[in-house]
Chain A
């Protein structure tokens, strides 16, 4: 029997960018997006994760969802490192407009300007938006 779990992925490696633009609980986009990112990372792809607009609220620390009977999935962002997703960015303008700073976030991110994020988008093979 083939020991498939030991196989390394040897297909092509592409540059995937995931663009997160939605707040975490009002819609299911944030949770679904996070699951897709983890799946892609499992296939050894070159993954970048970007939080812009209301997407920056996904990684706000101190989320406490027991009062609304929903799953707090914000600790899962801390698992990204274990999947070797290390290119994680948040947009400076989006944070500022929402009164947030780096200290408000649940994971370390690289803060980029909108212009820098535009440049990064240009270098991708695939952009997936949530």
Chain B
């Protein structure tokens, strides 16, 4: 029974990503959507915390939200996988439940 966590707020404006990572168990997944995708950027004041969980939790970001914000050419954190809307649906199906960190 592993959870899919979604985060839709910028880590520079809210604590949602930290709040999520503190509760996300090893083996769960974190999907960054909407303004949450800013948390996928490498080399920022927020990146160390999420990078440190690479390998213990699966990290995803929604590609269309990354593209909309002009981040497609920027380095993203190691181990993070970009997915599309169909991939989002697959994750919802794969994990036992979804926790949205609004």
A105 to chain B, nearest CB (A): 10
Chain A residue nearest to B9 in the complex (CB): A26
Query: Beyond A23-B13, A26-B34, is A99–B43 a contact (Cβ under 8 Å)?
Result: yes
B6 in contact (CB, < 8 A): no
Q: Are B67's CB and A67's CB within 8 A?
A: yes
Q: Which B residues touch A104, using CB under 8 A? A: 70, 74
| Cross-chain contact B10 with A26 (CB below 8 angstroms) | yes
Q: How far is the CB of B15 from chain A (nearest CB, A)?
A: 14
Tell me if A68 is interfacial: C-beta within 8 Å of chain B.
yes
Partner of A70, one of B10, B38, B68: B68
Instruction: Judge if B59 is at the interface, Cβ distance under 8 Å.
Output: no
State whether A57 touches B38 (Cβ < 8 A). Answer: yes
| A67 CA / B73 CA spacing, docked (Å) | 16
- Residues from chain A with a CB closer than 8 A to the CB of B42 are 99
Least CB distance from A100 to B in Å reads 8
**Is chain A's interface secondary structure helix, strand, loop, or mixed overall?**
loop
Query: What's the Cα separation between A70 and B35 when bound, in Å?
Result: 14
Q: CB-CB contacts of B37-50 with A at 8 A, as 1s and 0s?
A: 01001111101000
Q: A54 to B46: give the CA distance in the assembly, Å.
A: 13
In the assembled complex, which residues on chain A have CB atoms less than 8 Å from the CB atom of B47?
Answer: 99
Enumerate A2-45 residues with CB–CB distance to B below 8 Å. 22-26
Task: Give chain A residues whose Cβ lies under 8 Å from the Cβ of B95.
Answer: none
**Contacting residues, chain A, for B63 (C-beta < 8 A):** 67
A115 to chain B, nearest CB (A): 19
Cβ–Cβ < 8 Å partners of B12 in chain A: 53-54, 97-98
By a beta-carbon cutoff of 8 Å, the part of chain B in contact with chain A is 8-10, 12-13, 34-35, 38, 41-45, 47, 63-65, 67-75, 84
Q: List 10 A-B contacts (CB under 8 A).
A: A22-B13, A23-B35, A26-B9, A26-B35, A62-B73, A64-B70, A64-B72, A65-B67, A67-B84, A70-B68
20 further interface pairs, Cβ-Cβ under 8 Å (given A26-B34, A60-B69):
A22-B13, A23-B35, A26-B35, A54-B35, A54-B38, A57-B69, A57-B70, A61-B70, A62-B71, A63-B70, A64-B70, A65-B68, A67-B65, A67-B67, A72-B68, A74-B70, A98-B45, A99-B43, A99-B75, A104-B70
